[in-house]
Amino acid sequence: MMIVKRLNTTTFGIDPRQVDVQRLVDVVDAQMIAGRTTAHINVELAIQAALKASDINPAYLWIAAHLAVAELHKTVNPRFSDSVRRISDGASQDVVDEDFIDVVKNHGQVLDSAIVHMRDYDLTYDMLKNLEQRSLGRSGSQISERPQHMYMRMALAMHLSEIPRVQATYELLSSRLVVHDSYVSVFSGTTELVRSSSCSISVSDSDVKELYDAVAKCVFAVRRGGTVAISAQGIACAGRNAICHHRESSVGMWTMLKFLEVAISFARCAHDKRADVVNVCLEPWHIDIRSVVEFNNMHRHELADQRSITITLSLPDIFMARVDEDSDWSLFCPKDVPDLLRLKGHHFETAYTQYESSSVHRVTVRARELWNLMLRSQIITGGPSVIFRDNINGKSNLTETPASCHADLQDGTVDLLADDDQLHPRNRASIALPLFVTRDAVFDFEKLHQVVKETVCNLNRILDASIPRLEASMDRNQEFRAISIGIHGLADVFTALRLAYESPEAAALNVRIAETMYHGALESSCDLAEQFGPYAAFARSPLANGIFQYDFWDVTPSDHFDWDHLHSRIRASGVRNATLIAVGPGMLEDTPTGFTQSTDPFTSNVLADGVICPWLVQELVGLGLWNEVTRSVQQIPLLPDEVKAIYRTAWEIDPKNVLKLALDRAPFTCNTQGLSLHLESPDVDRLGELMMRAWSMGDSSFDEEDTDREMSFDDVILSSSSS
């Protein structure tokens, strides 16, 4: 029987004791319809049977993945050059990158021979299906490339005729050591690659055309599969005569958000199930703050893939201090207090109190009342997200920046950019930390350092390709050349090395990983600056004065690297990029990787964002304790306590320890960190305590004896559950 043969060929690399091929054959036989089955239908039945059997043992997921890969390989030519020809023949000529096509024509044989097709079998089923739906090139409706073709296409788009660099980058991508933003996989090889999908923008309603143009830019970015961070602090309160050229009144934040929501919903493709594609950032002194929180609450019953807008609140120190004191808080219309839109730190506090004294404020509330309103919304919906803007402004490598924060907490980035209506692109990638754990259970820091350096070069190549072809954001791209390198799978690393998430050993490893990445990124960016010059605004940055990120925190780095030599090089030549490292929980939430998100613990021992924890399964199978309802190991009496500690879930780990790991990484994270905190049965008091703790970590007047207040923490994304 053909299906038996196919199934037997897909079990390579799988422990035969964990799967029963005959079980799948029996399921397929039972569902076959006499006279109507085909080999393709049989394979689909086998895939569905394997997916269902994964409840018994996750090893069956690999059978499903291998079957799906084999089916794809049957229909797509193995030659990369052939796939490029088919895709370009079916594409509109105005999006075909002729330089890319010429390189394929001239070097097709070399590129074809570099492809390692067996690496497709390292992809999980979810990863493969995600690529088929969103990234693999098509000729009409027919998929015309394999995953390995896609990785080569990405590498070639970055380096074109520099074939050795193309081959090296292909190895990085094909081995899944680095995952780039999804727009790179979609648009590589086309002229559309130049338009970064992740961007930030400021909006106001002082002019109708400018407002509509800003929304149109957001729609354009989302339509291309991107995400947008919006600073909406300049939107006037409802009824205010804001649109001066036409003597019209502002509709306020609520109506603006509804308008934006409809526009984004219209822009999203029917198959696009990504959530949270637009993040709107607002400060708590805006008079419409309560209606914005209510807008957030209104979406609490929506499914995750139906929500398009999330809210982030940018909280200044003066607000947090008044919450702590339980004192009054004044709300303003931004048109009455223009200085609050551009000032930060103590200058902001001075202006804020002066505006209060002049009775410009429209409403006075208790600061703690507004605070509790935010906390209750977070408990109900998991949002709004929160950033502490003075902590960010005080430790940013971007100087002469305004107070406005454009927050994209998917990748942990907060842009401190001018309040204008231009799109400010961001180019980002994420490092797969578990793939740096060797077979001998040792973390390879040297390899991590090198991969980060290569990733900095690759992101700069994407920037270099975009700048000559863009107009609106060209100057901003040149001025800062901001890139974002994050991580995923930190919890997998701890588990693979048999370290409890809350252990001192895990904490030490966490710091060394962060330090290695920061040094590698700075060194590579300096290498590029020595070749091509620093980014335009470098002379005004703290780095130009020898102030590294860890200097903001009064932390001395380890002696694993020659920091003094790097100091000297950067003082002499600068760096190519203003920001390099950012940590966020959701950069890859629409891209399955087979690992946990960012630095998050496993949310469940069986499934963490749809990914089965392989190390737990191996442990339980070996002990004969695996079953389909095992979601936490804490209730299995036969497991030693040290094993239980390794497999604690996010709901069993003290959130304070999650904060502590973020705090330890902060001296080596030159952009910001986004963090998810998981609380079972949360209440306002407990959540508020955690939030105040996160804020107070940035108090510049800390007591040196108090280790909980040594460093600042940039931003917090809170996720709660009442289950």
Q: Has residue 85 got a pLDDT over 60? A: yes
d(CA 337, CA 360): 8
Q: Has residue 684 got a pLDDT over 60? A: yes
The ranges assigned to domains in the chain are 2-75, 77-169, 193-380+387-415, 602-649
Q: How many residues does the chain have?
A: 723
Taking the whole predicted model, whether its pTM rises above 0.75 is answered as yes
pLDDT at residue 67 in the model: 93
Q: Which H, E and C letters describe 493-554, residue by residue?
A: HHHHCCCCCCCHHHHHHHHHHHHHHHHHHHHHHHHHHHHHCCCCCHHHCHHHHCCCHHHHCC
Choose between 499 and 198: higher pLDDT.
499
d(CA 24, CA 4): 9
pLDDT at residue 480 in the model: 84
Choose between 69 and 680: higher pLDDT.
69
d(CA 698, CA 565): 29
What's the burial of 676, exposed, middle or buried (CB within 10 Å: 0-12/13-18/19+)? buried
Q: What is the mean pLDDT of the chain?
A: 82
Question: Among the listed ranges 191-200, 354-363, 412-421, which one has the minimum average pLDDT value?
Answer: 412-421
Q: Has residue 714 got a pLDDT over 50? A: no
**Over the stretch 585-631, which tens digit does the pLDDT of each residue have?**
655 655 778 888 889 898 877 654 344 566 777 777 677 776 555 54
pLDDT at residue 467 in the model: 54
For the CA atoms of the chain, what is the radius of gyration?
26
Among 415-419, 433-437, 642-646, 688-692, which range has the highest average pLDDT? 433-437
Choose between 61 and 205: higher pLDDT.
61
Q: Has residue 58 got a pLDDT over 90? A: no
- φ and ψ of 232, to 5 deg: -110, 20
User: Which H helix or E strand runs over 696?
Assistant: helix 684-696
- How far lies 42's CA from each of 25, 28, 60, 219, 647, in Å? 10, 7, 16, 42, 38
pLDDT at residue 606 in the model: 60
pLDDT at residue 194 in the model: 62
d(CA 274, CA 292): 22
Question: Among the listed ranges 198-202, 337-341, 497-501, which one has the minimum average pLDDT value?
Answer: 198-202
- φ and ψ of 518, to 5 deg: -65, -45
In this prediction, residue 166 has a pLDDT band, given cuts at 50, 70 and 90, of very high
Q: Has residue 35 got a pLDDT over 60? A: no
Helix axes 125-134, 147-159, angle to 10 degrees: 60
Does CATH place domain 193-380+387-415 in 3.90.1150.10? Answer: no
* Residue given tokens 């690759």 in the structure block: 458
**Over the stretch 276-301, which tens digit does the pLDDT of each residue have?**
578 898 999 999 999 999 998 887 65
Q: Has residue 160 got a pLDDT over 90? A: yes
Q: Has residue 328 got a pLDDT over 70? A: yes
Average pLDDT for 251-267: 84
pLDDT at residue 585 in the model: 67
Percent above pLDDT 70 for the chain: 79
Question: First vs last Cα of the chain: how many Å apart?
Answer: 47
Among 38-52, 191-205, 388-402, 431-445, which range has the highest average pLDDT? 431-445
Tokens encoding 63: 């059978």
pLDDT at residue 429 in the model: 93
Alpha helices, H only, 195-331: 208-223, 252-267, 289-298, 317-325
**Over the stretch 398-411, which tens digit does the pLDDT of each residue have?**
765 555 555 555 55
Long-range CB contact pairs, 352-356, < 8 A, 24+: 352/285, 352/316, 352/318, 353/318, 355/330, 356/330
Long-range CB contact pairs, 493-499, < 8 A, 24+: 493/433, 493/434, 493/436, 493/437, 493/443, 494/646, 495/602, 495/613, 495/615, 495/616, 495/646, 495/647, 496/434, 496/437, 496/441, 496/615, 497/437, 497/441, 497/443, 498/441, 498/646, 499/646
